[in-house]
Structure 1
């Protein structure tokens, strides 16, 4: 019986990974299409019907190109950074609140925060081990950026946790008779903005600042290494969209409406990229420390008081 359970869990993981990779492939196609129409052009439309096979063409091209590496790089850490980054981005997906034959996390949010915090080490090591000035600058900027917004990001999450009084993501669906976004509109906007910074997306893509850092921390990566970094980033975008739904938009149910919500949030990530210019670096620091942090602390105190008031009322 135990062997059967292990096999079912393993099969579930394989299906999950395949689903994530296909989702990431078509998310890149959606991004290129949306950015194309924002810039009044077509986007990919040649490979397959309306460009639908373009992601598979890109994947084959990237993974069959020659793998190069800088002569003076720290080879092992340079080579394994993208691999660890990709594995970490897949590990976070174990948090999906499955109802059958899968892992149930009682401390899922803590696991999420640990994995997200690990991501910055990978960017830092990738930048340092490349032995390039531009890559090192990108890595250092990613570290400073992460320290700035992850403090307020955890505090924004705390307000939702106080309302549910549990770290298990399945409990968020049970308690959301009224979606939390209606009770926490400012916090949900702050969370979405922090998600953009977490996934290194415009307007907070300082680790990948193309205009001043020549692609940033990943400049020395080519072919497979670059593809793995790329996959990790887009996998994180999909997961942050899912997490927003779990925490603020009523939770997880396998229906058309759920897929519409996750598609719309992924579209928002792309829309922001096509609309906003890159933020100035010191402005992000100001935003994180002087706006998001006080705001999240004030809301945390408010919801703690609200929860205590409810407990006294019913008990």
Structure 2
């Protein structure tokens, strides 16, 4: 596969060691501070949406609540239940959090800038297959969930781990297929090349079905509501981390929120132009140079984080069969159909047809509408079937000798061969 225009990976790997350490430390601090702020924003926004007060005790207007929760978890006693597989039990939270941090190594925050006289890209590194690297690394994180459920030696954590395995496998297939359309159109798998190929027109407009499929898949990938089935407290009492406490429980929560930031940053990179300024700010010549792109990138990431919060505050949790049907019967077939259309448009573009981009946009709108219609019909059919199943069944015939001795009929029941007497209002009694 040829590289897209503007993709040059020769600038990576030439930074001095102190600059590499500084960029890695900056990414780590960003990934630690963002979940702390996201926790507070989530509780505040959900309280506003649901007409509640929200945190308002710790700090000015409750702004230090996330810090207080972190200190509380750090000072709590770490309890290891009897009967656990202790090495695996202790290793599982680490397996969950490390891949979530490693995935950010190839996410571009901005263009090349000058740092103490050295020209460097605002990106730790880049690869020819950078997006596949992100998929591979984030896939390792599911082992932390599975091993946590298995090593706990309890039934409900094990069920939560098994649910997560099926969930991540199902939705990673749809997520990978949504990436394939981006690879076909951009002609590269490097994140910096994909951002460069979106200069002028973002892929959210050219590849709208891929964007919708990815947004749905990323919610299922991060185990967030309404797809938080591995943590369904109504039936699993917390899911895979039921037997965890103190800092080990905090590491699972931190991994979940870092994964939210990672998939949001990946969506920004693949579909929202990365660090490019949105219109009309892009009219300004200096909007895409210097340190300004870091602001645009962070704002786009927070837009996705707000969507996560919005979904949690408004939608109820799906049943497991509904969730799996959505992944295998809707998202994956639609992704395959869309990839065929994108490949056709790519072939037309290579042959020199100028109308390929217009065809791609029109086909994207058609497929997106088809997805919405298919989802609406699926939900409507399920609702109708639920209404039919909810109809009261016919009562069984009354048998006065069913228990071995005669029993008088209850109101509304009749003896075999008899009917209820009709009441005659004129006579003041039964007919």
Q: What interval of TM-score do these two structures reach, taking the shorter chain for normalisation?
A: over 0.9
State the 1:104 CA deviation: 2.1
User: Which TM-score applies when normalising by structure 2?
Assistant: 0.70
- 2:239 corresponds in structure 1 to 216
Alignment-derived partner of residue 251 in structure 1: 274
Match of 2:216 among 193, 196, 214: 193
Alpha-carbon offset, residue 255 of structure 1 = 4.9
> Following superposition, which runs of at least 4 residues in structure 1 exceed 6 angstroms of deviation?
none
Indicate the larger mover: 249-258 or 217-226.
249-258
Alignment size in residue pairs? 313
**Partners of 2:14 and 2:165 in 1: CA distance:** 43
Tell me the secondary structure at the aligned position of residue 312 of structure 2: helix
Mapped contact 2:174–2:214 kept (Cα < 8 A): no
Structure 1 or 2: more helix by fraction:
1
User: Alpha-carbon deviations, 1:33-90, whole Å to 9, x = none?
Assistant: 1111122112111111111111111111111110001110000110111012111111
The RMSD of aligned alpha carbons is: 1.6
Whole-angstrom CA distance in 2 between matches of 1:279 and 1:268: 18
* Structure having greater relative contact order (Cα 8 Å, sep ≥ 6): 1
Return 5+ residue gaps in structure 2 as ranges: 1-12, 113-119, 277-292, 354-431
* Greater Rg by CA: 2
* Pairs within 5 Å for 1:154-303: 154-176=176-198, 177-253=200-276, 254-303=293-342
> Is the 2:160–2:231 contact (alpha carbons within 8 Å) kept by the matching residues of 1?
yes
Q: Would you say the 8 A contact 2:95–2:143 is kept in 1?
A: no
**Match for residue 85 of structure 1?**
96
Task: Using structure 1 for the length normalisation, give the TM-score.
Answer: 0.95
Distance 2:207 2:26 in 1: 34
1:237–1:161 CA distance, 2 compared to 1 (3 A):
same
Where 1:73 maps in the other structure, the secondary structure is coil
Identify if the C-alpha distance between structure 1 residues 4 and 113 changes in structure 2 by more than 3 Å, giving closer, same or farther.
Answer: closer
Partner of 2:70: helix, strand, or coil? helix
**1:213 Cα deviation after fit:** 0.4
SS of the residue corresponding to residue 114 of structure 1 reads helix
Q: Relative to 1, partners in 2 of residues 1:202 and 1:140: Cα closer, same or farther, differing over 3 Å?
A: same
Instruction: Provide structure 1 residue ranges, at least 5 long, that are not aligned to the other structure.
Output: none
1:44 aligns with 2:67: no
